[in-house]
Chains A and B, each alone.
Chain A
Amino acid sequence: MVQIEGISRFYGNFAALKSVSLDIAQGERVVICGPSGSGKSTLIRCINRLEKHNEGRIFLSGVELNDSKASEEVLRTGVGMVFQQFNLFPHLTVLDNLTLGPIRARGMTRKDAETLAMTYLDRVHIADQAEKYPRQLSGGQQQRVAIARSLCMEPKILLFDEPTSALDPEMIREVLDVMVELAESGITMVCVTHEMGFARKVADRMVFMDKGEIVETAPPETFFSAPKSARCKDFLEKILGH
């Protein structure tokens, strides 16, 4: 599904990613963790070209991602993203947030787009809020709307960039529940998160990053019980310590 071959990303002289390679299979659920500044967000942002890699190559469904038309086309309905800060459109209702992409980018009629939107709102258990504006919803509800918005583009792969980091603790659960349900539906997921309980439950593979490199990749059972590298051990001790 996604092949990442030795990509690097520089900001001036600073290397946020240093020759990172990673393959993600169709239907696979990958959880990426690591200390802040380790390049996790930069890596997934390269997959939908919010960041452009300076070196190496990325393939999505066999098409190389670059500035070409073909790349644009495969990205159009290929990749969805859920952001830490939700990034809902504050001037539009929940329903309009969801239908904008399907109508403008997928060429659907308003009626079809609304039917589609209601299906996905129902899936994130928030269909009764369709006519409200984002600011009238709680953080957890907003993030679920954001998940529904990306689902409306019916992407082949869904990226999550620390989706629960901006939420109050009591709202994290409702978002994670929705993500678990999504994982069970078989969609390909790449998730940057510190929620290790979630990772244990749904991940097919754990990826640990530090200082712009992938340090360790392992299935969750061995990752949590027997991490190989000292850096990974150290990180896990810090976040699972108490």
Chain B
Amino acid sequence: MLRISAFVFMALALGGCSDQWGWYVVDPTTASGYANLKFLLSGLYYTVLLSLTAISISIVVGLLVALPGLSEKKLLRGFNRTYVELVRAVPILVLILWIYYGLPQVSGLTITVFWAGVIALALSDSAFQAEIFRAGIQSVDRGQNEASQSISLNYADTMRFVILPQAIRRILPALGNQLVYMLKMSSLVSVIGMEELTRKANELVVVEYRPLEIYTVLVLEYLVLILIVSAGVRWLERRMNADARR
């Protein structure tokens, strides 16, 4: 495995010097290269907006689905299981296509590309969020619930002030993972015409016919974006832990 990746790396590095590569398409010192680069980066806005909107919704939905999963009532637990199993089983790409092309036919509503993407990504992610929240809440000691009950907190207050603050601290790494995953999966929304990073790259490839360089830039765009997110999540983790240890 190591040998193969070393080989691939060497091939790429050598290729950089050979005439296989034509970096001129994205050379910022030339006018056309600069324009191309700017065009590629212009997809950043929708990639970020799409991912952040979708993850915000999926966290809320995920929590709302997780809570009945922790109930003593069989019916509520059944709802949680059904939701998670059903939603988790649909591939994201299929969900995007179904919501954009299929849903308007049944509902009669027209849906924009952006909202079709947000709904598909959020729905798909919410099943995973629900499992993460359920595990996080279950990991909080039962005594915390009993203590809350003994000072007469109701269910909502117990969750809000006692259980969730402790659970969220524990699931923060998993939530960070989901955000990274969401940023990557947002590339799929390009198939219905969302003008995000991947779509922009595809459009440029059709014009310039230099897929190698353009897709390499695309890879780097996602890499930088995700490294920033990772650093952000780690910073948040450190801050919360420092809070707890003070």
A235 contacts B by Cβ under 8 Å: no
A80 to B161, CA, bound (A): 19
Q: Which residues of A22-52 have CB atoms within 8 Å of chain B's CB atoms?
A: 48-50
B6 contacts A by Cβ under 8 Å: no
A50 to B144, CA, bound (A): 12
Contact flag A100-B150 (CB < 8 Å), given A90-B166, A91-B165, A91-B169: no
A149 contacts B by Cβ under 8 Å: yes
Query: Judging by beta carbons under 8 Å apart, are B153 and A89 in contact?
Result: no
Chain A residues near B154 (CB-CB < 8 A): 104-105
A106 to B153, CA, bound (A): 9
Main secondary structure of the interface of B (DSSP, over half): helix
A219 to B179, CA, bound (A): 64
Chain B residues near A87 (CB-CB < 8 A): 141, 143-144, 146-147
Query: Judging by beta carbons under 8 Å apart, are A153 and B152 in contact?
Result: yes
Residue of B nearest to A82 (CB): B150
Chain B residues near A77 (CB-CB < 8 A): 152
Residue of B nearest to A102 (CB): B151
Query: Judging by beta carbons under 8 Å apart, are B152 and A83 in contact?
Result: no
Query: Judging by beta carbons under 8 Å apart, are A149 and B143 in contact?
Result: no
Question: What is the size, in residues, of chain B's interface with A at 8 Å between Cβ atoms?
Answer: 21
A2 to B17, CA, bound (A): 88
Query: Judging by beta carbons under 8 Å apart, are A150 and B151 in contact?
Result: yes
**A147 nearest CB across to chain B (Å):** 12
Query: Judging by beta carbons under 8 Å apart, are A50 and B151 in contact?
Result: no
Specify which of B143, B153, B245 is in contact with A104 (CB 8 Å cutoff).
B153
Query: Judging by beta carbons under 8 Å apart, are A48 and B150 in contact?
Result: yes
**A88 nearest CB across to chain B (Å):** 7
Query: Judging by beta carbons under 8 Å apart, are A50 and B244 in contact?
Result: no
A227 contacts B by Cβ under 8 Å: no
Chain B residues near A90 (CB-CB < 8 A): 166, 244
A76 contacts B by Cβ under 8 Å: yes
Chain A residues near B162 (CB-CB < 8 A): 89, 100
A85 contacts B by Cβ under 8 Å: yes
A12 to B145, CA, bound (A): 23
Contact flag A83-B149 (CB < 8 Å), given A89-B162, A91-B169: no
13 A-B contacts (beta carbon < 8 Å): A79-B150, A83-B143, A83-B147, A87-B143, A88-B147, A89-B162, A91-B244, A101-B153, A104-B153, A105-B151, A133-B244, A133-B246, A152-B151
10 tightest A-B CB contacts, nearest first = A101-B151, A87-B147, A87-B143, A105-B152, A81-B150, A76-B152, A104-B157, A91-B165, A50-B146, A85-B143
